[in-house]
Structure 1
Amino acid sequence: MSVTGSTLARRAFGRELRRLRTTKNIQMSEAARAAETSPQSISRTEDGVFTRLTSFQVNALCDMYGANDDERKMLLALLQEVRSSRERGGGWWRAYADAQIATGFDHFLSLEESANRFTAWKIGVLPGMLQTSEYRRALAWSEIPPLTAEAIEGRIELATRRQLRLEDPDFSMIALLSEAVLREQVGGRSVMGRQLAHLAEVTELQNVSLRVVPFTAPRHLGILVGSFSLLEFPELPQSKLTNPPIVYVEEYAGDLYLEREAEVRRYRDALREIGQVALDEVRSRQMILAAAKELGE
């Protein structure tokens, strides 16, 4: 398991503790007294944030919650997974902290690194894993003009590192793109032309599916929903638990992480509807190549 597996283990650990506590209608303050910790620590643990709960404390919570043997073993296994992965160090993106990563975006990076399936619908900008360095550089200058050249290059290196996921045969990516993504000349004609040429090359990867929704497509839900990504995860190696999928909605003023079943289902439905009006992979590649040719690539 990669070091980022701790993100998934923490989420699963906290989710199971919350389920047991609420099933017994026990307040956080009561749980905190049983585990000899603070209510804030119980809250943070249930939210998937790392806290230094010991095996003794977890067993005390299990006693209070009336956990059965299987539930107790699962929680202790999850706790061990959190510890093991944390001992191997933080996520690789920590080295890029000086690149002025947006607040909270490191959480998305940990989820992206842990996912084994990534589905995106984009209406204006390409997903990070598909961007060339020139394209990313142009976006960075537009996003935060005061950034230094050094900070910009740190962001470029970070984006390049993220693209290594596409080399993992156990990882798959589905990208649904509005035609507007192809037509928006980020960085100018030459930069965008090379970006589209790169995009055409990416379509040849076996684990990447790229489809375009043309301007001529029938009216669809994607225009109303806006850009979002769906991340799905493999089972944890020791506990064999599978984390629920997460919908990530990136907003200018802040990001949303949605994982309630009803919320995720609505976005899955949106993806299904968008897919029904998207071109197939062959015709999408043809459109990308035609757009690149128009720009001189």
Structure 2
Amino acid sequence: MAGSTLPRRALGRLLRELRAKAGKSQLAAGLSIEVSKQTIGRVEDGQPARISTAQFRDLLDFYGADDDAREEVLGLLQEVKAAKGDPAGGWWRAYADLLNSHFDHFMSLEQACVRMTTFQLTLLPGLLQTPAYRRWIEATTNPAMSAVEVERSLELTARRQRRLAEDGEFSLDVMLSESVLRHQVGGREVMAEQLLHLAQVGALPNVSVRVIPFAAGGHPGLIVQSFTLFEFPPLSASRMTEPPVAFVEGFTGSLFLEEDSVIARHRSAVTNLRQVALDEDDTRRLVQELVEEYAA
């Protein structure tokens, strides 16, 4: 089972959601394909289990899964097989991936995690973006995107942002280079609105926003570059802790990292970045100063 666990974990979450939506127990699901309740639990926890593709198809029939859900599950099964041949500790996902291009691993992790820590050098993370800010990103990334597709993307971003207001254990820890605040994405008016929104979201009890000012000089983030660290709740069946995942984005694809030593280096980077970042109060003052500057 060498290789990334990411596709297998995503598959398990999706199957758990489908079972819950169908109102079926793990015992009933196991009986429907002639495996144990414990096997269903291992699959849903993203653990290795001996279930054939034919059995997965029968399980989808038992859950009454629609065509879109079936396509996602079978696509993830292909990714699980592909991941076995990769070196342990990482999973490269190209944006044009033909295995299962409509499944977004980043958003899957974002919805499943209980803590999300991110450092950004150039742009705000999606959970903090206003519609106007996001619209500029979409127009720049894909100028051929239709108006309808842009609006659908904005709706998706809004749905993702609901996590910030949900009851529960989810928390967001954001560290930003001052350059993120000074790049005039979409123009001065868009940035004034965006930074006002940033200040409002940063006041939420489960959100921390801190800026690393230019005055800090050289700092580890310039070497590490932008990244996001996802941490998860205990697995439902085994109560073991689901391993963290570090995400690094490139222009043509994304790298999801799971190796313990790599996670430890990103944790160390977080610690070092916090030492040079402004505290939350000073960050709010800087953001307000820039709002007034953009609005002038």
- 2:282 maps to a residue whose letter is R
For 1:226, the aligned partner's letter is Q
Distance in 1 separating the partners of 2:203 and 2:237? 35
Q: CA deviation at 1:107?
A: 1.3
The residue number in structure 1 matching 2:292 is: 293
Structure 2 vs 1, CA of residues 87 and 282 (structure 1 numbering), >3 Å: closer, same or farther? Answer: farther
1:238 corresponds to which residue? Answer: 237
**Residues of 2 paired with 1:80 and 1:267: CA distance?**
27
Which residue, 34, 37, 41 being the options, matches 1:77?
41
Distance 2:43 2:240 in 1: 13
Aligned-partner SS, 1:295: helix
Q: Which residue of 2 is the match for residue 192 of structure 1?
A: 191
Shift in Å, 1:88:
8.4
Provide the residue aligned with 2:174 in structure 1: 175
Q: How do 1:128-277 and structure 2 match up within 5 A?
A: 128-169=126-167, 170-277=169-276
How many angstroms apart in 2 are the aligned matches of 1:280 and 1:88? 50
What is the distance in 1 between the residues matched to 2:183 and 2:295?
Answer: 15
Measured on the aligned residues, the alpha-carbon RMSD in Å equals 2.9
Quote how far apart the aligned CAs of 1:236 are: 2.0
2:95 and 2:252 in contact (8 A); partners too: no
SS of the equivalent of 2:268 reads: helix
How far 1:196 moved relative to its partner? 0.3
Report the TM-score when normalising by structure 2.
Answer: 0.70
Q: What secondary structure does 1:145 align onto?
A: coil
Q: Is the 8 A contact 1:9 1:78 kept in 2?
A: no
- CA 1:185 to 1:258, structure 2 compared with 1: closer, same or farther past 3 Å? same
CA distance in structure 2 between the partners assigned to 1:81 and 1:238 by the alignment: 7
Aligned partners of 1:243 and 1:88: how far apart in 2?
28
CA distance in 2, matches of 1:263, 1:154: 35
Q: 1:81 to 1:174 in 2, by over 3 A?
A: closer
More divergent stretch after superposition (165-174 vs 189-198): 165-174
Relative to structure 1, the CA distance from residue 114 to residue 80 in structure 2 (aligned partners, 3 Å threshold; closer, same or farther) is closer
Instruction: Give the aligned partner of residue 111 of structure 1.
Output: 109
Q: Counterpart amino acid of 1:283?
A: D
Is the contact made by 1:233 and 1:245 (CA closer than 8 Å) also made in structure 2?
A: yes
Q: Which runs of 5+ in 1 are unaligned?
A: 1-5, 14-52, 60-72, 95-100
Give yes or no for contact 2:185–2:191 (8 Å, CA) kept in 1. Answer: yes
Normalised by the length of structure 1, the TM-score is 0.70
Distance 1:130 1:54, change over 3 A: same
**Alignment: residue pair count:** 229
Contact 1:176–1:213 under 8 Å retained in 2: yes
Instruction: From the CA coordinates, give the structure whose radius of gyration is larger.
Output: 1
* Alpha carbons 1:233, 1:244 under 8 Å: kept: yes
SS of residue in 1 equivalent to 2:190: helix
Residue 223 (structure 1) shift: 0.5
